[in-house]
């Protein structure tokens, strides 16, 4: 890959990462807000940004990173994602415990709350699956399907959660980020499935002596 293309890709990703965070940080809705409320909002936005980076790492779309390093960074960012979700929820709890309790019990009058809770649990479930991969002794294909399903659900419900909130995120940058997250995830899932199908086909041909 040419150096110009590498710079272009990393520059574009940096822009996508920085713009929504900067726009939210400069929102007039944050005026007179307590620091813990600001932390809660920014943690949620950082989480959305990380949901874009993760499939890019899986698909090998970030130049300069080997497959092994991409997997290592993917696992590390997965841990950071869990931490941002926990920070988001914990900060909201400090701000207003009754609202968080209502959300966790799916009794909140705000529609976006339920989607946020579902996203939280699917993130935790995906991380749990990664942490206990060896102990669960699942076949590689079974584990991959389960992990992909949980991650895909996390992304879909997180996008719905974000789009329903009328808060500090600037509307255009939020919509663009959510669209990029969905498109990137769909592309990677489809590509990974196609690769897996070709691999099984090659293995089947090998067992059959190379005949079709």
Q: Helices marked H in the chain — which ranges?
A: 3-25, 35-59, 67-95, 97-104, 111-131, 133-136, 140-164, 171-207
In this prediction the pTM is 0.86
Q: Half-sphere exposure (CA, 13 Å, Cβ side) for 16?
A: 21
Q: Which residue's entry shows tokens 């914990």?
A: 90
pLDDT tens digits along 46-66: 999 999 999 999 998 999 888
pLDDT tens digits along 177-205: 999 999 999 999 888 775 555 555 555 55
- CATH-assigned architecture of domain 3-188: Up-down Bundle (1.20)
Query: What are the tokens at 121?
Result: 């649990």
Cα distances (angstroms) measured from residue 83 to each of 6, 86, 105, 132, 191: 29, 5, 22, 18, 29
Q: Where are the domains of the chain?
A: 3-188
């Amino acid at each position: 890959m040419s150096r110009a293309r590498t710079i272009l890709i990393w520059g574009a990703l940096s822009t996508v990462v920085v713009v929504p965070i900067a726009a939210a940080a400069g929102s007039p809705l944050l005026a007179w807000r307590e620091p813990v409320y600001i932390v809660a909002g920014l943690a949620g936005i950082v989480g959305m940004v990380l949901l874009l980076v993760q499939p890019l790492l899986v698909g090998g779309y970030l130049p300069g990173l080997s497959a092994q390093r991409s997997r290592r960074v993917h696992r590390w960012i997965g841990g950071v994602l869990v931490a941002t979700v926990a920070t988001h929820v914990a900060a909201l709890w400090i701000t207003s415990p009754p609202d968080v309790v209502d959300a966790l019990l799916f009794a909140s009058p705000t529609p976006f709350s339920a989607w946020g809770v579902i996203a939280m649990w699917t993130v935790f479930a995906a991380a749990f699956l990664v942490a206990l991969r060896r102990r669960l002794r699942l076949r590689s294909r079974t584990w991959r399907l389960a992990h992909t399903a949980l991650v895909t659900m996390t992304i879909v419900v997180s996008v719905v959660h974000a789009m329903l909130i009328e808060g500090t995120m600037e509307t255009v940058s939020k919509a663009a980020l959510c669209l990029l997250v969905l498109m990137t995830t769909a592309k990677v899932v489809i590509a990974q499935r196609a690769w897996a199908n070709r691999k099984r086909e090659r293995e089947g041909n090998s067992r059959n002596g190379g005949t079709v």
